[in-house]
């Protein structure tokens, strides 16, 4: 199993941003090795889903999960991570969201 890194998570989040039609996300001002950069992308994804994440806390990896949960629920998928303050738990949820997107695209083919 490959090590989960900020870079690997950003690659997946970038895929989801593009898949949601968010083509103008500017990450140039972000420290891509920070939790806040993951929150920024999750906020953009939630907004693309019609959510308003700006009032949600954005300081820890664990606080990223409610945003990811909104995205998961938007796809009718249930998922529950146990150790919320790890990159691995974030990746697990992002992977579920990506899988749901790929399934949606397969259904539309």
Residue 95 inside a domain? The answer is: yes
This model's pTM is above 0.85: no
Residue 1 inside a domain? The answer is: no
pLDDT value for 43: 94
Residue 78 inside a domain? The answer is: yes
Q: Report CA-CA distances (Å) from 10 to 69, 106, 107, 109.
A: 18, 24, 26, 27
Residue 47 inside a domain? The answer is: yes
Domain count, the chain: 1
Per residue in 59-69, pLDDT tens?
999 999 889 88
Backbone angles phi, psi at 12, to 5 degrees: -70, -40
Q: What's the domain range around 81?
A: 6-18+33-108
* C-alpha span between 24 and 89 (Å, rounded): 27
Residue 46 inside a domain? The answer is: yes
Residue 24 inside a domain? The answer is: no
Residue 72 pLDDT level (bands cut at 50, 70, 90) = confident
């Amino acid at each position: 199993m490959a090590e989960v890194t900020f870079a690997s998570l950003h690659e997946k989040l970038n895929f989801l941003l593009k898949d949601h039609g968010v083509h103008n996300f500017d990450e140039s001002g972000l420290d891509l090795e920070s939790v806040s950069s993951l929150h920024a992308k999750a906020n953009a994804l939630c907004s693309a889903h019609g959510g308003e994440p700006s009032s949600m806390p954005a300081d820890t990896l664990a606080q990223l999960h409610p945003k990811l949960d909104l995205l998961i629920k938007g796809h009718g998928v249930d998922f529950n991570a146990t150790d919320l303050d790890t990159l691995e738990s974030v990746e697990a949820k992002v992977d579920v969201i990506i899988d749901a997107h790929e399934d949606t695209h397969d259904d539309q083919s």
